[in-house]
Amino acid sequence: GLADLGNVYNDGALSNRNVIINGEFLVWQRSDNGYSGGGQAYVSADRFTTTRGRIRKPNTNVNTGEDNRGAVFDTTDGNVYAHFDYAVEDVGQTLNGKTMTFSFYAKVLSGGTTLLLEDTGGDHLDFGGNRYITLTSNWERYTVTGTLVSTGASSGVVMPRLYLNPTGVAEPRMIQVDQFQLEVGDTATPFEHRSYGQELALCLRYFNKLTYGANDTPILNAAYYNSAGAYGSVSLQTEMRVYPTLVVSAASDFKSLSNGSSKIPTSINISGSSTKNPELVIATAGHVQGHAAFLRTNNTSAVMTLDAEL
């Protein structure tokens, strides 16, 4: 242990050495159990994507052998070439050309034991080509060391891609994974744990799910620029990576109060270019230009998501 710590100290880091966010799968803003039947998508655990696969919390179905840690990567829905990805944001290409070590824990829950780590090319961790590893039913740590290649692309630097059915055979498989880490140097040091609050704050830079849970909850103050639309900004606790896109559960889940009346918006959109206080446009009809307004929830289903993912 002392030798490992001495090595990582020489490489320039002791704390904040893991550049992978949510590597311990503490944050699940989107869903506890998400599936992508087609293209690459963020479906559940923050910062991890899947293509033709499922990422879910352990014990969200009935399956013997799932510990209460990490995540389950699942291909039992039957798709082929299912893979799981993670992209690192490299602001200013500070990681380009560095020797870095990627590590994670995994075990087989069901299906085959072979896992392909794909060397994806492009902006990636170059570890000398694809590598097959054999998993067991026990937790084991797996590591690869390579050179990080970064051109500063907006899509980020892709970590070794985990393929569960690389041969194109629709084999139902489940593996459990945990403690993904990418760090400078040629040695995998002990996993760097962060608190839930720290991990959530890091995740909110990329995705922010605003849930309210009660009817008539205040969201923001606004003013009618004209009779058809009120403008107001929502304050975020964490500045987002880039100007986000907005999705609301349904416009009818919200209401605009102004001049003694309440109206259901026809739409709620995002305007302006702020990454910390994005401005919303609440479209209604029949209000008065210049009047103050209040955006509130209209039921318990109201949800807004702000997306600035890689």
The per-residue pLDDT for range 240-260, each reduced to its tens digit, is 999 999 999 999 999 999 999
Q: Is 70 exceeded by the pLDDT of residue 9?
A: no
Q: Is 210 exposed, middle or buried (0-12, 13-18, 19+ CB in 10 A)?
A: middle
Q: Considering only CA atoms, which of 50, 70, 68 is closest in space to residue 59?
A: 68
Per the listing, tokens 């608190």 go with 195
Q: Is 90 exceeded by the pLDDT of residue 1?
A: no
In this predicted model, which residue has the larger pLDDT, 246 or 272? 246
Do you know the residue count of the chain? 310
What is the per-residue pLDDT for 64? 67
What average pLDDT is seen over the chain?
94
pLDDT tens digits, 95-152: 999 999 999 999 999 999 999 999 999 999 999 999 999 999 999 999 999 999 999 9
Q: Is 90 exceeded by the pLDDT of residue 166?
A: no
The distance in angstroms from the start CA to the end CA of the chain is 35
| CA 35-306-93 angle, 5° bins | 90
- Alpha-carbon span 264 to 116, nearest angstrom: 51
What's the pTM?
0.93
Q: What integer is the mean pLDDT of 186-201?
A: 96
Q: Which residues have C-beta within 8 Å of that of residue 195, sequence separation ≥ 6?
A: none
What is the per-residue pLDDT for 208? 98
Of all residues in the chain, what percent carry a pLDDT higher than 70? 96
Q: What integer is the mean pLDDT of 166-189?
A: 92
Q: Is 80 exceeded by the pLDDT of residue 11?
A: no
The helix or strand, by DSSP H or E, that contains position 200, with its residue range, turns out to be helix 196-203
What is the per-residue pLDDT for 8? 62
Token couple for 290: 């210049």
Angstrom CA distances, 293 to 14, 22, 271, 304, stand at 50, 38, 17, 19
Instruction: Say if residues 85 and 73 touch (Cβ distance below 8 Å).
Output: no
pLDDT band at 171 (very low <50, low <70, confident <90, very high): confident
Farthest CA pair distance, the chain: 71
Q: What integer is the mean pLDDT of 16-23?
A: 96
Q: Is 80 exceeded by the pLDDT of residue 3?
A: no
pLDDT tens digits, 41-80: 999 999 999 999 999 999 988 766 799 999 999 998 877 8
